[in-house]
Amino acid sequence: MTTNFRQFRLALRKFEGDIGRLHTQFMQKLSLDFLRGVVLMSPVKDGRFRNNWMTQIGTPSAAVTEEVDPSGAKAISRGAQEVAQLP
């Protein structure tokens, strides 16, 4: 019976580690999907508005760019780099 308890305890510890990793992956995917949706739903005249979606973790970003990007790929790429830093 002691062996079963040890095995159970080890399995729980492994599960705890997996839950943390899965939670982080889920939050990163959710955040990136949300950003992608917001950027791609933004109206396009010349692409400046789409490119000014600035992602920052913890506090709002006050950054602004004059650069245009009608596809929104630059904003999504910048955001993906930030989202990858999520703890």
Summarize pLDDT for 19-71 with one digit per residue, the tens. 888 888 999 999 999 999 999 999 999 999 999 999 998 899 999 999 999 99
Range of the domain at 16: 2-83
- Higher-confidence residue of 3 and 21: namely 21
DSSP reduced 3-state for 1: coil
Nearest to 76 by CA among 38, 46, 45: 38
Task: Kindly state the tokens that stand for 36.
Answer: 């992608």
Domain count, the chain: 1
- Quick one: CA torsion of 31, 57, 79, 69, rounded to 10 degrees? 120
- ∠ Cα 33 38 40 (to 5°): 90
pLDDT beyond 60 at 1: no
